[in-house]
């Protein structure tokens, strides 16, 4: 019977150890050392997978003529699930072969989560600093197109939906920079 108790609590111990190791991986270079930190990044993903939860890293760089570059990523997983890695910001890859090149754009890519529920798809997007009136939604096939912003902040993202939806039958709410869209499945 004591053996069963040890087995029952082993995942919690592994989760605690993984969470402690996550605290030791706080310094993850992104821009300037974008590719130098790849080994640490892979290690970070493995630790998030073991611990369950979410890790977010973000930063800012100054580009030419005072343009700000916003960059970051989010790694989210449940215990034993595959990690979901999502990048966000306004730094885009222009050239990937040989030597990578990056470009800072005015338009940022927001953090977006998509949940496939029983009767609907729930899309949650972080759009800080924009007004609800500036949000535009469109559907092309199974891709939801999200655009929002003004001259200060602009967001845009194409979101692949996991199921066919009825675009006319949607519920949209926007509060404190968080946009929630419920799309009824067909």
The answer to whether residues 158 and 93 touch, using CB atoms and an 8 Å cutoff, is no
| Rg of the chain on CA atoms, in Å | 20
Q: Return the domain boundaries, the chain.
A: 1-105, 110-186
CATH (residue range 110-186) = 2.60.40.790
Question: How far apart are alpha carbons 64 and 85 in whole angstroms?
Answer: 29
Per-residue pLDDT, 175: 97
The answer to whether residues 127 and 111 touch, using CB atoms and an 8 Å cutoff, is no
135-147 residue pLDDT tens: 999 999 999 999 9
- Per-residue pLDDT for 28 more than 50? no
The answer to whether residues 64 and 105 touch, using CB atoms and an 8 Å cutoff, is no
66-100 residue pLDDT tens: 667 777 777 777 666 666 777 777 777 666 667 76
Per-residue pLDDT, 129: 92
Per-residue pLDDT, 136: 97
Reported as a pLDDT band with limits 50, 70 and 90, residue 7 is very low
Of residues 16 and 127, more confidence is placed in: 127
């Amino acid at each position: 019977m004591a053996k069963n108790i040890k087995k029952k609590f082993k995942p919690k111990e592994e989760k605690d150890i993984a969470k402690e190791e996550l605290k030791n991986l706080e310094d993850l270079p992104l821009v300037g050392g974008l590719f130098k930190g790849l080994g640490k990044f892979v290690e970070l993903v493995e630790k998030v997978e073991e611990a369950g939860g979410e890790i977010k890293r973000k930063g800012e760089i100054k580009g030419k003529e005072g343009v700000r570059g916003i960059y970051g990523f989010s790694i989210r997983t449940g215990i034993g699930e595959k990690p979901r890695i999502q990048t966000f910001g306004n730094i885009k890859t222009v050239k990937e072969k040989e030597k990578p090149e990056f470009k800072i754009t005015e338009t940022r890519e927001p953090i977006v989560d998509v949940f496939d529920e029983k009767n609907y798809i729930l899309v949650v997007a972080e759009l800080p600093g924009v007004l609800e009136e500036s949000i535009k939604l469109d559907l092309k096939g199974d891709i939801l197109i999200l655009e929002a912003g003004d001259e200060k902040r602009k967001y845009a993202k194409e979101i692949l939906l996991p199921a066919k939806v009825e675009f006319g039958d949607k519920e949209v709410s926007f509060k404190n920079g968080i946009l929630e869209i419920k799309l009824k499945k067909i």
